Structure formats: C-alpha cells, structure tokens
Amino acid sequence: MHTPLLRRRHFTFTLLALVGWGFATSLQATSPASVQRILVLGDSLSAEYGLARGTGWVALLQKQLTQEKPGVEVINASISGDTTSGGRSRLPALLKKHQPSHVVIELGGNDALRGLPMAMTEGNLLEMTKQSKSTGAQVLLLGMQMPPNYGPDMARQFEAAYAQVAKSQKAALVPFFLKGVGDDPDPLKWFQPDRIHPNEAAQPRLLANVWPTLKKQLK
C-alpha cells in the first residue's frame, strides 16, 4: 500500500533532477567562457581621434559583427597617444575585467614616432601576446610601418618585429594596418589635416584590412 507514495516520491525526485540538470545546462550555455568578446587594445588610430563618435573602424567592426556574427561584443580599450609600454601595463587588468575570447593589438605607431628602442617595442608586443594567450584568448596583431625618414633598414626591422612575434606565438597578423591608406599614391585624401590620423573616409578601409583575418578567428 506504500507503492503509490514511493512512486510519487520517485517521480518528484526525478523531475527535480531533470529541472536541475536543465538549469545547469542553461547556465553552462550562457557562461562567460561561451561568449565571444573582442578586446581592441590600440592608440589614436582605434580611439576615434578627431572623428565623430561611432565612425571609427572599431565602431564599424561592431556593426559588421551585428550583421554577420550576432552576439559578439567589442570592447574598445584604445587610448590616444598610447605606446606598446602603456598597452602592456594596462593589459592584465583589462584581461581580468573583460575576459575576452579575442585580443586585437594595434600598438607600435607611437613607438616609431618617438624613436623608442626597437627591442623594447618587440618585447612589449611579445609580452602582450603571451599574456593574452595565457588566458585562452586568440590574438590578432595589426602591423605598423615606420616613417620613411628613419631609413629603409629601420623600417624593415620595425615591420619584421610584428611578423616575428606573430610567428613565434602562432598569432594572427595583418602585416600593415594602414594598407590602402598610408601607402596610397595620394595619401593626403585619407588623412586629417595633421597628416597623421586617418579621416572618416579611411575607416572602412581600415576595417577591410582587419575583418578577413579576424573573421577566420571567430567561430
């Protein structure tokens, strides 16, 4: 005569177990580890210096993702004037706070403009890549080129630094972030009056340089 009661208890326990399993599965599906989040660590080229808000290449990237990769979030941690040393010092806190699945490093241009030691720039790029990869994030380096007045040898060394870091750490690389802008036969049409920062018309070109490589890294 106790069988119905036992059956009801068994049913209740089974139902609770199934509900609990479903709840745990739901939490797992929406856990931070399953979210794709892109951290952009850059300087004025990515911080919309001199541009209307929402018109820079990082903002255009978020719009592109909304269309092609819904749910992917972009955090723009770029600061005008930043160097690889500044980025290296800021990165640990950013990785801890945002837990990105991808890190885009767009730094080095100010190192070149200030004539900072090549070994220091390469060392900082290497350390930032290692730090990012240690958290499980995929890394994309955006290569820069040194102004021609420093001479061809320095220019080749600077360009090679990005390639060497990318190769040693198996990171993705865009060889020249400003391709089609800085090397255009008439580059002034793509720059603001200061002749240093790309204008609004150049931003889609910058995104076009980044997107094909970044898209391959996204699930």
Please answer whether residues 132 and 172 qualify as being in contact, where contact means their C-beta atoms are separated by less than 8 angstroms.
no
Residue among 35, 171, 43, 42 at smallest CA distance from 100: 35
Which residues, listed in sequence order, are joined to residue 76 by a DSSP beta bridge? Answer: 40
pLDDT of residue 19: 36
**Separation between Cα atoms, residue 44 and residue 173, nearest integer Å:** 20
Residue 38: strand pairing partners: 74, 102
Reported pTM:
0.85
What pLDDT, on a 0 to 100 scale, did the predictor assign at position 183? 92
Residue 79 amino acid letter: I
**The pLDDT of residue 150:** 81
What's residue 187's pLDDT? Answer: 87
Q: What is the pLDDT of residue 29?
A: 38
Write the single-letter amino acid at 159.
Answer: E
Name the token pair of 109: 């241009």
pLDDT values of the chain reduced to their tens digit, one per residue, 219 residues: 444 444 444 443 333 333 344 333 333 334 444 689 999 999 999 999 999 999 999 999 999 999 999 999 999 999 999 999 999 999 999 999 999 999 999 999 999 999 999 999 999 999 999 999 999 999 999 999 987 778 889 899 999 999 999 999 999 999 999 999 999 999 899 999 999 999 999 999 999 999 999 999 998
| Residues carrying an active site annotation | 44, 194, 197
Check residue 34 and give its pLDDT: 67
pLDDT at 95: 98
At 100-117, the pLDDT tens digits run: 999 999 999 999 999 999
Angle between the N-to-C axes of helices 203-217 and 57-68, in degrees from 0 to 180, rounded to the nearest 10: 50
**Residues 203, 56: contact at Cβ < 8 Å?**
yes
**Which helix (DSSP H) or strand (DSSP E) does residue 113 occupy?**
helix 109-113
137 contacts 177 by C-beta, under 8 angstroms: no
Q: Tokens representing 103?
A: 């890190």
CB 97 within 8 A of CB 133: no
| H or E element at residue 16 | helix 3-29
The pLDDT, as a whole number, for residue 151 is 87
173: left (phi over 0), alpha (psi -120 to 50) or beta: beta
